[in-house]
Chains A and B, each alone.
Chain A
């Protein structure tokens, strides 16, 4: 089973993000970068599936040369090949989905697994655009029946369940009010939610091996994709901070404040 995964470069989720003085971008000084956590879950899931249904796991990232770091991370985890779409400048979700569509058409994977959203833009769109444009089925917000503390998780059992003859996959999805199970005919697009798996650490031998794994370069122009953004960010700002609150010494004071000051009980 050949699986294609994404490895977007994003700010470390622990970083403190600040808007620059012009309100056009964020302050980059001192920021650390990582693979989008949802994409890391996608890589992990692909590796678990590939362990049972052997085939290539291809990681794709779009950006300048710095995204090699995220591609090498995916390779160090165990992906077999990386595709770098060399692109500088702004890109929106339609642009990303168009580029991925072209890569998918070249690579012909049986399954594409992406993070449900990237933690910078928080749009939650690319997987759905991609599925529609490929004419494939989609299962967003993939989760699983077991928790991240379960035996199955310790044994690295995939949450995505491959059907007989590897013609279908079943995906358990986090939806409002419970869990939904969909059966997708392959090829298909799956996007990951938080509780699909706990990604592995890259091992030292994995990191060494990653250095010699293939990393193929593509460009938007070479792929014949117009990536001119259709979304323009006109202004960035920081949300108003909440007014500083107070510490109350005991429960009695808290109840009094809630009744007389906040008037919420």
Chain B
């Protein structure tokens, strides 16, 4: 059986990022899963991950305190070589997207990004903003991938793996230096993990009060269209779409979003889609299970009140 190495990602608070568990599910379809944890002190996170994989390679070092592709790629590649990994992958988060091609370059490996399914050695991935689904095979000895987390369930615990500590060599001259991370804190659920997402578009004209109020009533995450983030009305981190976050909640409410294909690419996997838009011709209605042609500033408060009353 092939050996697969998955790069573990931590949240800003150091806890395990759930997306890693989606990546492990995909990796299990390719072979025996090992994981690599890199941190200033990798032991706590490694202990958390070991129940999901065969072996966790826990690399600790001062130069690994902040994630940097330049420092991480050699450490990941070294582990991959030491265990003869045929596959190396990570969740297609911003970190995974930044890191994995650099790891692939180091291993002279071809890579498939955002994989949605695994069938033997054939990987399925989106192209042209998800308008096309491609089946691809990679012909390099080592192969890399990143995982579209919405397409794979969270891995369950597979029982006791072991932790192997190692000390990744410092890379000598580093050409990139971490300066700062400005976190956008939110009390609401994480966009990619929420069961319900309420998103606003250009139709909000930047006023997100009703979007947020409905989100809070439903214990939902808040999302946004590209126009909203471009205008600086909401942080970039909330953008749903081809180049932003891909979400697949139980319920996705799109308010004042016209529904460009690039936005649909990020949410059309949602179980139920509700669209609220003044323009009856808006393309969002073509993917919506329930469409309501209405002014969102009137419809959203009504919806919130009705949901509250129905509790």
Contact = CB atoms under 8 A, between A and B. Distances in A.
Interface string B77-114: 00000000000000001110111111011101011111
Contact of A265 (B94, B177, B251, B299): B251
A255 B303 contact: yes
A18 B271 CA distance: 24
Contacts of B230: 147-149, 194-195
A182 interface: yes
A131 B138 contact: no
Interface string A125-153: 11111011101111111010011111000
Given A122-B127, A176-B94, A230-B140, A128 B101 contact: yes
A248 B138 contact: no
A174 to B, nearest CB: 5
A230 B272 contact: no
Contact of A252 (B110, B232, B306): B306
With most chain A CB atoms within 10 A of its CB, the pick from B11, B134, B175, B293 is B175
B226 interface: yes
Contact of B251 (A137, A143, A235, A262): A262
Given A17-B131, A93-B101, A93-B111, A242 B268 contact: yes
A121 B106 contact: no
B167 interface: no
Interface of B: prevailing SS: mixed
Nearest to B107: A132
A237 interface: yes
Contacts, number: 262
- Give chain A's interface residue range (CB within 8 Å of chain B): 35 or more
B165 interface: no
Contacts of B118: none
Contact of B236 (A117, A174, A182, A250): A174
B307 A178 contact: no
A170 to B, nearest CB: 7
B95 A262 contact: no
A148 to B, nearest CB: 5
A265 B106 CA distance: 48
A122 B101 contact: no
Given A239-B130, A264-B196, A181 B180 contact: yes
In the A-B complex, the 4 residue pairs with the closest CB atoms:
A147-B232, A137-B175, A128-B101, A132-B105
Interface of A: 11, 13, 16-17, 19, 26, 92-94, 97, 116-117, 119-129, 131-133, 135-141, 143, 146-150, 170, 174-185, 188, 193-195, 230-239, 242-248, 250-252, 254-255, 257-259, 262, 264-265
